[in-house]
Amino acid sequence: MKTKISYLCLPIIVSVLLILSFGSCKNFGIPDYKLTVVIGPGVNGTPPTGVTTHKELDTIDYEYKADDSNYQVEVLVNDSVGSSAGKFVMYTDLNVVAQIFDIRDTWDFTLEETADGTVEKREFTVTFTGNSLLSGDFTDSTGHYGAWIIDDTDLTMTYSNWLDYKLTSTSVTGMAGTWSGEEKSSSWSASRTK
């Protein structure tokens, strides 16, 4: 008889324990996500620096501008480059950094060339240097070098020792554009070397 009562009580005890444990769980319902924003010097905009909590699928408008209109703003969202204005849709925690774009770094470049219907890729690194955020010199891992300049949102790289090669971009923070040289032209893209 004692064994029958134990077997009858066991499901009730397990049910009570499950209800108590789930009842204290804070993860039921729509989850909350954190939006962490850091705005660097020379940049202003919204949302401001700080940490806020949002429900899943909340949409937050954002826009960041440089105090000096000669400079471009780079917005990093969880370490990926985003635009300087738009909307965040909360479906995970987001870490946002809005800062003045500084090209002076080492970048992984890919030049694409289409010849006879096939795409050929040239990959190399480029290191940008200079005393200004708007112009300076560059060298690449193939031994070529030249000068770079940023004018508004346009980047122009002109090689000094690689025939007549020139790379241009109409969105410097996007780091992609077109190249021309040796009577050829096509596209290029780059990302910061990790």
pLDDT single digits (tens) 32-91: 999 999 999 999 999 999 999 999 999 999 999 999 999 999 999 998 888 899 999 999
Assess whether 175 and 134 both reside in one domain.
Answer: yes
Mean pLDDT of 99-119: 89
Q: Is residue 26 part of a domain?
A: no
Q: Tell me, yes or no, whether 124 and 184 share the same domain.
A: yes
Cis (ω within 30 of 0) for the bond into 47? Answer: yes
| Same-domain check for residues 45 and 93 | yes
Query: pTM for this one?
Result: 0.75
Q: Which domain holds residue 154?
A: 106-192
Give a yes or no: residue 42 inside a domain: yes
Q: Does residue 120 share a domain with residue 93?
A: no
- The stretch 149-178 carries a mean pLDDT of 89
| Of the residues 100, 117, 136, the one at which a domain ends | 100
Element (H, E) at 4: helix 2-23
Q: Are residues 110 and 95 in the same domain?
A: no
Residue 1 lies in a domain: no
Residue 7's pLDDT is what? 62
Instruction: Tell me the pLDDT tens digit for each residue of 128-144.
Output: 999 999 999 999 999 99
Of 62, 79, 100, the residue at which a domain comes to its end is 100
**Residue at a domain's end among 64, 79, 100:** 100
Q: Cβ contacts of residue 4 below 8 Å, gap of 6+?
A: none
Q: Which residue has the higher pLDDT, 115 or 93?
A: 93
- 108-to-24, 71, 125, 137, 170 alpha-carbon distances in Å: 50, 23, 5, 16, 19
Q: Select, from the ranges 6-15, 63-72, 170-179, the one with the highest average predicted confidence (pLDDT).
A: 63-72
Per the structure, the count of domains in the chain is 2
CA–CA distance, 25 with 19 (Å, rounded to integer): 10
- Rounded mean pLDDT of 87-109? 95
- Asked whether residue 175 is domain-assigned, the answer is yes
